[in-house]
Structure 1
C-alpha cells in the first residue's frame, strides 16, 4: 500500500498533537509546584528544628549558654562582679550554679536600651526550691541608684516551705512609661520543682497590648490581660545594669537601703534567652521540647 508524502505528514502531525494533549492532561504529582522535600532533612529534628538556636534567631538579643562562661554571648559582655557561682551539668551542656550567689553586669547592654526593648520573651531553665522566708530575683534590669528596676523577674520562693515541690509562684514586675509599676501576674507553676528538677519558664510581654503571659514546661500557666497601654506600657529606662540572681542589696558596695525581702539565689540556671519580640505559642513549646532533648 502506497501513501503520499502529504498523507504521511498529516498522520505524523496528528500523532504529535495527540501526544501533546495526552501529556497535558496527565495528572501531575505536584500540581502546586512545591519544592522537593527530602525526608532525611528532618531526621533528628524536633518540631522541624535541630536546635533552639534556630528559633527566632534574628530576634534573639541576649543569650547566656553558661557553657563554662558567664559572658552574655551576643555582646561578649563579662560580668563586673560574680559571687558563689560555678558550672555544673545542665539541660544543654553546662549550667550556672548559684549558692547564694549572683552575676552583676555594670555595663549597659545595647539589647536593653529603651528603643531596643519594648516587647520581649524571656526563656530559661531553672532548678529552684521554695524556702519559706525570702524571695528570689531570677534576673533584673536595674536602674543605678534605685532598688526598683525597670524589670524584675521575681520568684516568690518565700511564700511556701522548701518541702513544697508542687508549686513555684512567679511575680514579674516592670516600670512603666508613666513612672509607675505594673505587676499582678502571680502565676503558680503546677509541674514539680526542686533542687534536681529542671523547670522551663517563659515570660512574654507584648509592648503594643500590654499583655503579660507566663509559661511553665510548655504550658501557659498565667496571664494578665489588663495591664493597660499608653503610660502603663513597659519602659526600659537608661542607663541600666543587669543582675542574675540578686538585687543591689545582695551585692557588696551596691547596697541601697535595708531591704531584706530577697536573698541571693540558690539554684541553677541554664539557656537564658531574651528576645525583643513575643514568640509564638508553638515556638515556646518547641523551646521546651528541644531543651528536654538537650538541643
Structure 2
C-alpha cells in the first residue's frame, strides 16, 4: 500500500509541474504609463489629421494618400523604420485636405541628422505654389556648430508671412530628436518644442485662424523650392539651401495646439517605441 501511495503522489507532482509556467517577472510589471497614456496613439486621436510612420511606406495612414519618392530610402527609425534622406532627395505628396484647411495645428516629427554645414534644411514643407516660401515649413537654418543648431519655422496665413525666431538647440546632431511646432488660433501663439520641452514661443497679435493658400502639395526632406521642378512658381533651387541627409520619422499633424503635457508625453512614449 505504501509503495502504491508514493507512486500516486509522484505522478501527481509530475503532472502539476508539467502544467506550471516559468516565472516571468516582466509579466507582473505594470504597463508603461506616461501622463495617463500608454501609447502615442492615445494622445488626441480625434484631432490627428495626418500621420506618416515611414515604416516602409510613404502613405499617410489617416487620409491614405501616398507620396512619390525621389532618391530617399528606408532605414532604422526611432520606431521601427524611418525615411532616409540624401542630397537632391525628397518625397512629394498631395497634401491631405484636412491639412490644407488647418486653422490651428501641432506638427511633430523625429529627426536624426549630421552637422548641418551645407545650407538650410527643410524637414517638412506644406507648399504654396504662388509664393517663394511654403504654407508651413519647419527647418534647420543655415550653418551650425558642432555643439548647436538653429531651428526656425515659416507659416503663410492668407498671404501674410509668419516667421519664427532663430531658436538655438544644443547638441542636436547624430541623435534622434523630437521637434514639435504648434499654433493656437485663439491666442495667435506659435510654440516650439525640442524633445518634449518648450524652447520658444511667438505671439503675432490678431493673427487668428490660419488660412493656407495653394496648398495642394507638400514635401519631406527639403523646402518647396529645392524640388525638381520647384513646387514654387516664383523661386527655384537655391545655393544656400540643402536637403535632409539624415532620417525623418513619426510625422504627425493635429488640428489643434496640443498642450505641453500632451507633447511631452508624446515625446517620451515615441522615444520608447510606444
Query: Normalising by the residue count of structure 1, what TM-score does the alignment of the two structures yield?
Result: 0.76
Q: 1:47 aligns with which of 19, 35, 43?
A: 35
Distance 2:271 2:236 in 1: 41
Aligned pair 1:247/2:223, yes or no?
A: yes
8 Å Cα contact 2:226/2:237 also seen in 1: no
Contact 2:35-2:261 within 8 A present in 1 as well: no
* Deviation per residue, 1:196-241 (Å, 9 max, x gap): x10111111111221111111111111113x1214x7632124421
Match of 1:69 in 2: 57
State whether residues 123 and 223 of structure 2, in contact with CA within 8 Å, keep that contact through their aligned partners in structure 1.
no
Spell out structure 1 runs of 4+ moving beyond 6 A.
none
Show the counterpart of 1:180. Answer: 160
2:134 & 2:31 partners in 1: Cα distance?
A: 45
2:129 alignment partner, one of 144, 147, 154 = 144
Give, in angstroms, the shift of residue 248 of structure 1. Answer: 3.6
Quickly say closer, same or farther: Cα 1:42–1:56, change in 2 above 3 A: farther
Q: Which residue of 2 aligns with 1:16?
A: none
Aligned residue in 1 for 2:107: 122
Q: Which structure would you say has the larger Rg?
A: 1
Q: How many residues align?
A: 243
Mind listing any 5+ residue stretches in structure 2 that lack a counterpart? 1-27
CA-to-partner distance for each residue in 1:233-291, whole Å, 9 max, x for gaps? 63212442111111343322336445333112211011110000011111111011102
- Residue from 245, 250, 262 that aligns with 1:271: 250
Residue 99 (structure 2) pairs with residue 99 (structure 1): no
Cα shift at 1:42: 5.6
Query: What TM-score results when the alignment is normalised by the length of structure 2?
Result: 0.82
The 3-state SS of whatever aligns with 1:99 is coil
Structure 1: gaps of 5 or more residues: 1-39
Residues 81-135 of structure 1, C-alpha deviations (whole Å, 9 max, x = no match): 3122111111111111111221101x34111233xx0111111111023333400
Summarize the Cα distance change of 1:51–1:108 in structure 2 as closer, same or farther, 3 Å threshold.
same
- Paired position in structure 2 for 1:110: 97
Instruction: Report the equivalent of 2:206.
Output: 229
Q: Give the deviation of 1:41 after TM superposition.
A: 11
User: RMSD of aligned C-alpha atoms?
Assistant: 2.1
Q: Which residue is 1:201 aligned to?
A: 179
